[in-house]
Amino acid sequence: MANPRQAEREMIHATQEATRKMAEETTRAARTAADASASATRAGADMVARNAEAVEHVWQSGSEMAAELTERSMGQFARACGISGESAQQATQQSARNLESIVQSGTILAGGMQNISSEWFAFLQKRMQQNLQRFEALASSRTPQEVMAVQSELVRDHLEDFVHSARRVAELSVQMAEEAARKMTDTSLAPR
């Protein structure tokens, strides 16, 4: 008959070995997930930055083309309608003010979009750092309850940060829209 103490030692050893293997697997899975999360975050941040730069470049090019086109069109339109002298000058000045208003508002909108992109980039960076910290805690978890606690903290923190960033983006959007509207109103009220 087998020695009960020997069987108990074997059982303890087997349990410790299983726990060690589970910890190693959890650590490996956490590292893999952290690496994937970091790569996804970097790719997302790069994409946001490239999109912001592209939007700003497109807007600037479009504004320059619109200014040139408006100037040419007004001159041709005035000649075609037989408008000359002071009335042609007034129409050209009004068009210039309107175009200036559009360009200034576009600049404000482009700057606002850059601020919004920066806010999302900050969100992604913070989440990446916190995810890495949580994965370390997950890797050191020894019980299913500890794993669930770490995972629930991760989800809660992620949602909390997302809501905060979304609120900040909404505030920036309102600010941007109000500033652009004010600039258009100020330009249209300018002395003629």
Domain-embedded: residue 116 = yes
Task: Give the global pTM.
Answer: 0.52
Residue of 15, 19, 16 lying closest to 27 (CA atoms): 19
Confirm whether 170 is domain-assigned. Answer: yes
Residue 36 lies in a domain: yes
H/E element, 64: helix 4-80
Range of the domain at 179: 4-53+108-188
127 three-state secondary structure? helix
Write down the pLDDT at residue 171: 93
Instruction: Judge whether 125 lies within some domain.
Output: yes
Name residue 175's amino acid.
Q
| Consecutive H or E run containing 167 | helix 144-188
| 154 in any annotated domain | yes
| In-domain check, residue 98 | no
Residues lower than pLDDT 70 in the chain: 1-2, 23, 26-27, 29-30, 33-46, 48-49, 51-52, 55-85, 88, 188-192
The reported pLDDT for the residue numbered 90 is 75
pLDDT of residue 164: 92
How far is it between the farthest Cα atoms of the chain? 119
What is the pLDDT, as a whole number, of residue 2?
A: 60
What mean pLDDT is reported for the chain?
A: 77
State how many domains the chain has: 1
For CA atoms 132, 137, 141, 145, give the dihedral sign.
negative
Backbone Cα Rg of the chain = 31
Q: Is residue 86 part of a domain?
A: no
Has residue 46 been placed in a domain?
Answer: yes
Condensed to tens digits (0 to 9), the pLDDT of residues 82-133 reads: 666 677 677 777 777 777 778 778 888 888 888 888 888 889 888 888 888 8
